[in-house]
Chain A
Amino acid sequence: MKAFTVHTGIVAPMDRANVDTDMIIPKQFLKSIKRSGFGPNLFDELRYLDEGKPDADNSGRPLNPDFVLNKPRYQGASVLLARENFGCGSSREHAPWALEDFGFRTIIAPSYADIFFNNSFKNGLLPIVLDDKTVDELFKEVEANEGYQLTVDLEAQVIRKPDGSEIPFDVDPFRKHCLLNGLDDIGLTLQDADDIRAYEEKRKQQAPWLFPA
């Protein structure tokens, strides 16, 4: 996993609530057996005017000029500003894979769907929760200032605005540790292999039907 320490980037505003995982990466693109290459189909149905097909060349497709990520001022954006319940719907990890592959490193929203939130951390994509009012203000500032950038400092747990002011944010200490160091969860869990075996032995006594021979 890619480590996340300090990131500065252009902010793109996605001004709608309940952005679901079918919107983030439509189902026809879930057929890949790889983790990469989903970026060109991120927000496919909003981004292009025609219907997207898996394994097709996306370079010549007609773009929807009204879609935020197609606007010249948001080119190269790597910070996504979003509304409540971002990432609702399916458990597809293809959603954070697509956001990450497109170039996003962090998302700022008032709330996320649980599974999406979880999946993001496992892919070096930092989902930040800020209150509604702060998110609203950021939407206004992004709208008003072309080239608006934010700096996200995970170690310090602050977002730095262009005027130098800081917005603090909360993050789970374990997830922060993994993200800062780009650590693989599995390796960490396997350090507890003896605890897992001890649990299994105890459980076999209590609930032997869960361990058919």
Chain B
Amino acid sequence: MAGKTLYDKLWEQHVVKEREDGTALIYIDRQLLHEVTSPQAFEGLRLAGRQPWRLDANLATPDHNVSTDKAEREAGIEGIKDSVSRIQVKTLDENCDAFGITEFKMADKRQGIVHVVGPEQGATLPGMTVVCGDSHTATHGAFAALAHGIGTSEVEHVLATQCLIQRKMKNLLIRVEGELGKGVTGKDVVLHVIGVIGTAGGNGTAMEFGGSAIRSLSMEARMTMCNMAIEAGARVGLVAFDEKTAAYVKDRPFAPKGEHWEMALAAWKDLVSDDDAEFDKVVEIRAEDIKPQVTWGTSPEMVTTIDGTVPTLDDAEDDVERSAFTRAYEYMGLSAGQKITDIKLDRVFIGSCTNSRIEDLRAAAEVAKGRQVAGSVKQALVVPGSGLVKEQAEAEGLDKIFLEAGFEWREPGCSMCLAMNADKLGSGEHCASTSNRNFEGRQGYGGRTHLVSPAMAAAAAIAGHFVDVREF
């Protein structure tokens, strides 16, 4: 009998009951909650007169709508200028208070983007099932946890039953072998993967990232990669457990301690795909082929390398893609064949659940140190992923490096990733962004997003246009 994949193992450990129709009731160990996708779920519980099944499995924090401006943050919830945003954050506080759910409120230094906070607190542990009403929940798969985004009805379902009705996904392995070049980060690897398999390439699968290049990456880089599995269509991203996973988790507030730590560690060692495991599909990637990536269009698969050009219609596979390219040229204000390094930037955003952790900020600061943001760049934002990331960065003096270089140093939140708060692009503005989606309007009405790594974003801020960070 063939061995099991990591996903097979995680799945089997969480089956409460298999149903005849091929679906299964799956137990959920951790639910993360934020203000955007939870209000209707709590309302549903109330209307049905139901109580949460297990309070201690839930952890909440507001992130999408919070202001990242210092003065506004110090003014508390009333400091959120937009009235509808304010109501959402207030509603989360009220719901968590009423039901007794642990919440890191806006003023708490542990507040931040849910996908930064979960791992930071050890609330995400290897072997867990982790869900959140947010597609970037795939992030937590970096810990060999089965993690995926869910809709609001499912948020309510998990609150009420601690379970989800699921159908098993297929197993996809992305194997990246070899050594990554200088200046090539987890972000570049995952953008390259999306470029190869497309935004629907992972639909219906749990996508495990394996191979020597992945083993060499830090936990934070692995989180960046799993975070964007969903941009390749996979709800689940996964990386096998190893000593780096253990080292990252150890001693975090919610992590097991003492005897439980030893027990957990012993169990976690099995959270790897067996050597003879059978995947439904394997995609082989050579690490040496990956260069720093920049997206040029309005879908993450519209990506090329920093030394590349905007593709022409001849590069499109079919009529559907040709029309998508044509629309993207127009929306992005770019022409076929244009050099990526000729794209000028109006704004730069370093942050989001993809790239706002301490290593991301260090990489950007290293590039920014002793340099100046170009005069043509209207705004360059650095937004740490949590209050604790911010504190750590300040202890290392990174805030000063950014401020001296002309970047803005902000309070933690989702910020300009998705334009649900005051940080957004103006129509027609080009932005070098470390976030995850370059959809039309994502960062603001008419805004033009280019996805890049933190170091590439910092270099672009300084040059005023895209530059190859390897030569910068």
Contacts and interface: CB of A to CB of B under 8 A. Distances in A.
Contacts of A90: 134-135, 149, 437
B363 interface: no
B233 A30 contact: no
Nearest to A33: B39
B361 to A, nearest CB: 25
Contact of B127 (A26, A34, A114, A207): A207
Interface in A169-202: 172-174, 184-186, 189-190, 192-193, 195-196, 199-200
B233 A85 contact: yes
B23 interface: yes
Contacts of A115: 135, 148-151, 235
Interface stretch (B158-166, B286-294, B369-377, B451-459): B158-166
A64 to B, nearest CB: 13
B420 interface: yes
B419 A196 contact: no
Given A114-B203, A209-B256, A93 B17 contact: no
B167 interface: yes
A162 interface: no
A111 B152 CA distance: 22
Given A33-B40, A209-B264, A199 B440 contact: no
Interface string B119-146: 0000001011000011101000000000
A133 interface: no
B327 A16 contact: yes
B163 A189 contact: yes
B161 A190 contact: yes
A159 to B, nearest CB: 22
Contacts of A85: 199-200, 203, 233
A105 interface: no
Given A33-B43, A115-B151, A45 B445 contact: yes
Contacts of B17: 192, 195, 199
Kindly state the interface size class of chain A when it binds its partner.
35 or more
A174 B37 CA distance: 25
Contact of B50 (A17, A119, A174, A186): A186
B396 interface: no
Contact of B203 (A23, A93, A111, A190): A111
A123 B16 CA distance: 25
B439 A20 contact: yes
A27 B263 contact: no
A144 B375 CA distance: 54
A85 B36 CA distance: 24
B442 A199 contact: no
Interface in B302-340: 320-321, 323-324, 327
Contacts of A172: 21-23, 167
A27 to B, nearest CB: 5
A176 B418 CA distance: 34
> Considering the complex of A and B, which 5 residue pairs feature the smallest CB-CB distances, nearest first?
A209-B256, A119-B151, A93-B151, A33-B39, A91-B149
21 contacts: A17-B324, A22-B439, A22-B442, A31-B65, A31-B84, A31-B420, A35-B40, A88-B200, A88-B233, A89-B439, A91-B133, A93-B133, A115-B151, A118-B154, A172-B167, A174-B21, A186-B50, A196-B27, A199-B16, A199-B27, A212-B56
Interface of B: 16-17, 19, 21-23, 25, 27, 29, 36-37, 39-40, 43, 48, 50, 53, 56, 64-65, 82, 84-85, 87-88, 91, 125, 127-128, 133-135, 137, 148-154, 156-157, 160-163, 165, 167, 199-200, 203-204, 233, 235, 254, 256, 260-261, 263-264, 267, 299, 320-321, 323-324, 327, 418-420, 427, 437, 439-442, 445-446
